[in-house]
Amino acid sequence: MQYPVYLQLLGTKNVYAIQGPSRFYECSTMGDQTLCHDVVATTWPERQRILDMVADDGPWERISREAFMHCWNDRNCHMGSSETSAFEVREHVELAPHTTFGIAAKARWFADVSSIAGLREALNWSRQRGVELFVLGGGSNMLLHRDVDALVIRIQMRGVEVLSDDGRRIQVAVGAGEVWHDFVLHTLDQGWGGLENLSLIPGSVGASPMQNIGAYGVEIREHFAWLDAIRVSDGALQRFTEKQCNFDYRESIFKREEKGKWIIVRVAFNLDRKSALRMEYGAIERELQHLPEAKRTHRDVSEAVIRIRKSKLPDPAIAGNAGSFFKNPTVPKNVANALLSTHPKMPHYPQLSGDIKLAAGWLIEQAGWKGHNRTTHGVHDQQALVLVNFGGASGKEIWSLASDIIDSVKTEFGVLLEPEVNQVGLDS
Ligand code: EPU
């Protein structure tokens, strides 16, 4: 069965989008009211109902996606029982515990949002008051420069749902608020391969496609199926395929042309019990040397990645950080060749485009910044790409250090570093 399947109950205006064997969206009309439900079937009778709906002999007929979306988007939907939400807004909430950098800054308003209905309420709330909306996922990739004068919503949609399983390949949909690493561990517990190289990346599932997270030779796009997102302007739900996300190195449309326009609520992945282990990254191979190749498992690769990350990257629970602060820069071949003639040991990675990617960590280290310490903050002593808040640093101080590093690398190598971390409230 290929999901989603769009249906209409014969003789009614009720339409359904069946997402998988245990979930569907329903848009039904009762009198002059339209009810929109997101139904998760957790028990056998509910699941049987879904099977009945997709069977060929029932009172349902297939309709187009457009016909379903017409009902879902264009009518004034009131959410049904499975989508009721307790939407509670708090004031002047400290954000430091909600970001991995741990920089003190307050949200003027703050709310946890755990359902699409709750999210739509938040959109209405902010629109009615003319207040900006600011989305916090795992808070792992942002530097706060000042208090946030907005309604900050923390995306808390949970749940891992198997959409299809042919005994080898699995498609699984995950709530945007799940913690990324917990989800990776869950896939390994189930014996599903594919995401093991992305172990221990901080942040949430919903944030993972925003910047096409990647590590140790694997990027999320390789396992990405689709994502559902809510449009900020009108609350409409839309599905994005891999192609529509237009992924690139640490990039997607959600960081570029569609920035700020969508809130990701659910992400689906294609996993494989027999996916090939990805060990081409030298450090992984070294970590696994003691194990014969035939005996290595997805779990072994995950454990190797966890060991490597722990040895190189600071634990945000101990020292605030947002992982790599800078992107690895890509330069034209002639620029890379000129640098290589004076720095023959410079790491460099030819790209399909013909350009050359350089290692920002190496450039920063060569410019003398590795381990640099400004008391409250500094440059990590094991990985120069990572800026660290040792405690009490402000966003402005971290940015001042980042700017000094950018200037110094530019002077030394003529290469312009760009931050990978999102800057929030930076004066332009
Ligand atoms: N290097 C140095 N000094 C340093 C850091 C790196 O000389 O302080 C050299 C290394 O020796 C190596 C090269 O630079 O030759 C590349 O280093 P590494 O393999 O550690 O990877 P990276 O390019 O520094 C990227 C990601 C990391 C990811 C690792 C592993 C970016 C911006 N960073 O770092 O991602 O974990 O590869 O795949 O692409 C993150 O995004 O938060 C993150 C940690």
Average pLDDT over residues 56-77: 78
Q: Are 362 and 347 in contact (CB under 8 A)?
A: yes
Q: Is the pLDDT at 45 greater than 60, yes or no? A: yes
Same domain, 222 and 306: yes
Q: Which atom of ligand 1 is nearest to the CA of 382?
A: 8
pLDDT > 60? residue 136:
yes
Domain boundary at 74, 99, 122, which?
A: 74
pLDDT in tens, 382-418: 999 999 999 999 999 999 999 999 999 999 999 999 9
Asked if 20 and 162 count as a contact pair (C-beta separation under 8 A), the reply is yes
In this prediction, residues 321-342 reach a mean pLDDT of: 97
Per-residue confidence (pLDDT) for residue 369, from 0 to 100:
98
Which of 326, 362, 380, 381 maximizes ligand 1 atoms within 8 Å of its Cβ, making it the mutation to test the pocket? 362
Based on the domain organization, do 298 and 403 belong to the same domain?
no
* Mean pLDDT along residues 224-234: 95
Q: 33 C-alpha to center of ligand 1: Å?
A: 55
Q: For residue 264, what pLDDT band results from cuts at 50, 70 and 90?
A: very high
Check whether residue 190 and residue 275 sit in a common domain: yes
Catalytic (active site) residue 420: yes
Q: Are residues 268 and 365 in the same domain?
A: no
Tokens standing for 27?
């848009």
* Tens of pLDDT, residues 99-130: 999 999 999 999 999 989 899 999 999 999 99
Gap between the Cα atoms of 258 and 264, Å rounded: 12
Residues 147 and 286 in one domain: no
For residue 81, being part of any structural domain is answered with: no
pLDDT of 36 above 90: no
Q: Which residue ranges have their beta carbon within 6 Å of ligand 1?
A: 215-216, 313, 323-324, 327-328, 347, 359, 361-362, 365, 370, 383-385, 420
Residue 228 one-letter amino acid: D
Ligand 1: centre distance to CA 348 (Å): 12
Angstrom distances, CA of residue 30 to CA of 12, 14, 36, 74, 195: 10, 9, 11, 16, 44
Contact between 288 and 300 under an 8 Å Cβ cutoff? The reply is yes
Q: What is the pLDDT of residues 56-66, one digit of tens each?
A: 888 899 998 88
22 carries an active-site annotation: no
Q: Domain range holding 111?
A: 90-155
For residue 203, what is the domain's CATH number?
A: 3.30.465.10
418: nearest Cα among 348, 363, 377: 363
Is residue 380 within 8 Å of 322, Cβ to Cβ? Answer: no
Q: Are residues 15 and 108 in the same domain?
A: no
Q: Which atom of ligand 1 is nearest to the CA of 383?
A: 8
The residue nearest atom 4 of ligand 1, judged by CA position, is 361
Catalytic residue among 23, 120, 250, 266: 250
Predicted confidence (pLDDT) at residue 75 exceeds the cutoff of 60: no
Closest ligand 1 atom to residue 323 Cα is 42
Closest-lying ligand 1 atom to the alpha carbon of residue 250: 39
Rounded distance between C-alpha atoms, residue 419 and residue 425, angstroms? 15
> What pLDDT, on a 0 to 100 scale, did the predictor assign at position 74?
59
- pLDDT band of residue 23 (cuts 50, 70, 90) is confident
Is the domain of 212 the same as that of 336?
no
Distance 362 CA to ligand 1 centre (A): 8
Residues 148 and 165 in one domain: no
Ligand 1 atom 42: residue of nearest CA: 323
Q: Is the domain of 141 the same as that of 256?
A: no
Q: Is the pLDDT of residue 3 over 80?
A: no
| Ligand 1, atom 25: closest residue by C-alpha | 215
Distance of CA 384 from the midpoint of ligand 1 (Å): 8
Is 7 in contact with 53 (CB distance < 8 Å)?
yes
What's the total number of domains in the chain? Answer: 4
pLDDT band at 293 (very low <50, low <70, confident <90, very high): very high
Q: 5: left (phi > 0), else alpha (psi -120 to 50), else beta?
A: beta
Backbone angles phi, psi at 411, to 5 degrees: -65, -45
195 and 337 in a common domain = no
In a domain, 320, yes or no: no
